[in-house]
Structure formats: structure tokens, C-alpha cells
Amino acid sequence: MNKETLKKMIIIGAIIIAIILVIFLTIFIMRKINHKDEPPKINMTKYSEKAIKVMKEENLYEKLKNKEYSKTIEVVLEDKLFNEKYLNEYHKINYHNINNFSETINSFLTKHYTGEEINYILKNLNEYINILLNMDHINILEYKDISNFNINKLERYINYQKENTKYDTKTVVTYVNIGLDLKGYSSYNTYTTDEAENNLSILVNKYHKLPDNYEPSDLTELSYKNGNYKYLLRKEAAEAFEKLTSAALLDNVIFYPFSAYRSFETQNILYSRYKNRDGEEKADTYSARPGFSEHQLGLAVDVRSNTLGDNLTNEHYKWMLENSYKYGFIVRYPKGKQHVTQFMEEPWHIRYIGVDLATKVHNSGLTYDEYYDLHISN
């Protein structure tokens, strides 16, 4: 055998070996693909005898034998409440040891809830299942990442959003929690004297009332006086106000108080006067009813620029927005927020809540009503 012949035989042999390898590799790959497409086979003995008996009685054995084991399916079978059209969703639902588990998940499935939604409800809202089952299907997962979501107000959220489609779900939750879906003063809670006295962050608005007889125990005179008239604030707020006015003066911003602490009786006289003059509806847009005024807390003060009678100039308002928080105050009724505060803008009305909290409110860009619901009340 010459070298040329030997060379040809080697080449042919290599080709044959390569072809054989390709064939084996192809067979191996196809088996892998086919195996991957096959549903995982399970040992049916994982199911209870009772569940397997129901499978056979209902001609479900062939449909289920190649499916992964599911405790949920086992329980629904044992309860004889298996509904074949929900098979895929059953597999997504985690079993929970609760009364009437099978009936409950079937009720939710009937209302077109998905397995994912049902898992969220069973895990996080188990105490409120009946509330949800008494309503049409809602996208409950829209609420799962909203920290101030309160399921007891769910129906109010839904109704408010129908009427205010421009708001996203998170905004709707906050606004309803504040009470904006209700008429002001129609529903409110009343603080105790202890709460009013010992909580500088207390929220007072049309939905949170002070006791009629509440008067702060540490009212202190401000250094500024208008003739014989004295302006009072709680001691901590009064000291902070003096620092605020001194800091403003360094920036050539001069303002004076024109209303500070007001008792329940004084607020009643003022509100009644405005109501008689302008009518209740209009008076409610700019004056708080007695018991609902921050001035009764002794933590609020109205200020005016030295060039004005009862307001701040635009420049002074801007300074107040940018600096008052450094001394524990916030502008309580800022411009453009009437739809939240339910009062006309009052650039001159500042409220003491302490430096740390005022800084957080300032940085959030929220009204105090919004911030309180999102970060304090819960």
C-alpha cells in the first residue's frame, strides 16, 4: 500500500468518525430537547389516597399524573371542590391552613382573581377576605407596595378614584386617608388633652379636632408686642420663633407676628363673624371652625412682612419656604395646595413641629397633611 492510498484511507476514516460523532451528538441533543419539553413526572403516591380516589372518580387521573404535586390541588380534591377550568391557577396558589380554604380560593377564582393575587391576599390580607369577597374583582396588587394602604378604606379608594381619574393609586390612597373624599368636618376624630399637650407633631385639620377646653400649659410671650397686645406660643415654639426672626433679619427679611395662640372661644368668635359675613361655605375655605384650628395648639403663628398688613411679600414667602424648616417651622398652607389642605393658600401661616421633622417635611416636598399620613400616622 503506497503512501497516497494510505493517506486517502486515513481521510475517509476521519470523515466516517466525524459523521458518527455528529449523528450521536444530534441524537443526544434531540433527547435533551424532548426531555425538556416533557412535563416532569411525579410519584402519584405524594397525593393522599382520598385525593387519588377522587381523581379516578372524576376522570382526572390522566390529566394530573404528569403534573407537579400540589398541596392545594390535593386539598381541593379531598374536599371534592376541584374545578378543572382552574387547574393552572390551582398550581400557582400556595396552600394556607385556613378554614374553608377550598371554598375561599374557588370564590376568588370565580371572581377572576389570579393565583398571584390570591397568594397575596391569603398571605397579607387573611383577616379581610370577607371584605374582598363581598366586592367585585379589583386589582389588589396595585396596593401591595403602598405603605399607607388601609384595606378598611378599600371601597372609598375605589369610589374616589372613579371620580378622580387623574390621580394614580398611591395618590388616591393618601388623599382618602387624609379624608378628602369626605366633606370637611363631616367625620373626624377628637384628640385627648394628653395627646394635644405632649405631641408636637399632632395634625390638626378638618378631620382632626382638639378638645374644646384644651389650653397649652406652657404658653410664653413673644418679644414682639403690638401696643399692649401680647402674642403667645408654647415655650419651645416661642424660642424657635425668636431664632427664626433673628436669622431672617440677617438676610434683610423683616416680618412680625399678627396672630399666634388663639383659644377655642376666640376662634369661635372669629369663625362666627366670618360665617355671618360670607356664609358657611366660603368661611370654611379660609377659617377653621373652633376646635379645628392649629392656633389653639399654641404652635402656629401668622406673620406679615413689615411692608404689609397681613401677608408676606413674594420674596419673604420664598425665604420662609427655603429657611423656616431650619428652625422647626413649616409653611402649613403653601400656594397651590388648596386641594389637599382644604384651605385657601396662607403663605403667612407657619407651624412649629421641631427641626428634625420640619426638615423631613421640607425635603419631601409634601404638605403636612400628606406627610403625616405617609410617615407619622402609621
25-45 pLDDT, tens digit each? 777 777 666 655 444 444 566
pLDDT of residue 41: 45
pLDDT value at 178 more than 60: yes
Interacting residues of 117 by C-beta distance below 8 A, sequence separation 6+:
108, 139, 140, 141
Q: Which pLDDT band holds residue 16 (cuts at 50, 70, 90)?
A: confident
In sequence order, what are the beta bridge partners of 302?
Answer: 259, 349
In sequence order, what are the beta bridge partners of 300?
Answer: 351
From CA 183, how far away is CA 160, in angstroms rounded? 13
Residue 89, all three cell numbers: 391557577
Which ranges of 114-220 does DSSP label H, i.e. alpha helix? 115-124, 129-133, 154-163, 169-178, 193-198
Residue 252, all three cell numbers: 434683610
Pick the more confident residue, 2 or 53.
Answer: 53
Residue 226, all three cell numbers: 403690638
Q: Which pLDDT band holds residue 64 (cuts at 50, 70, 90)?
A: confident
pLDDT digits (tens, 9 = 90+) for 200-218: 999 999 999 999 999 999 9
Q: How far is CA 221 from CA 145, 264, 270, 293, in A?
A: 47, 19, 22, 20
In this structure, how many other beta carbons lie within 10 angstroms of the beta carbon of residue 57?
11
Helix (H, G, I), strand (E, B) or coil at 133: helix
pLDDT digits (tens, 9 = 90+) for 114-152: 999 999 999 999 999 999 999 999 999 999 999 999 999
From CA 305, how far away is CA 249, in angstroms rounded? 12
Q: What pTM did the predictor assign?
A: 0.82
DSSP conformation letters of 23-41: HHHHHHHHHHHHHHHSPPP
Helix, strand and coil in the chain, % to nearest 5: 55, 10, 35
Residue in the block written with cell 412535563: 39
Shortest CA distance to 202 belongs to which of 267, 337, 298, 289? 298
Planar angle of CA 150, 145, 183, nearest 5 degrees: 35
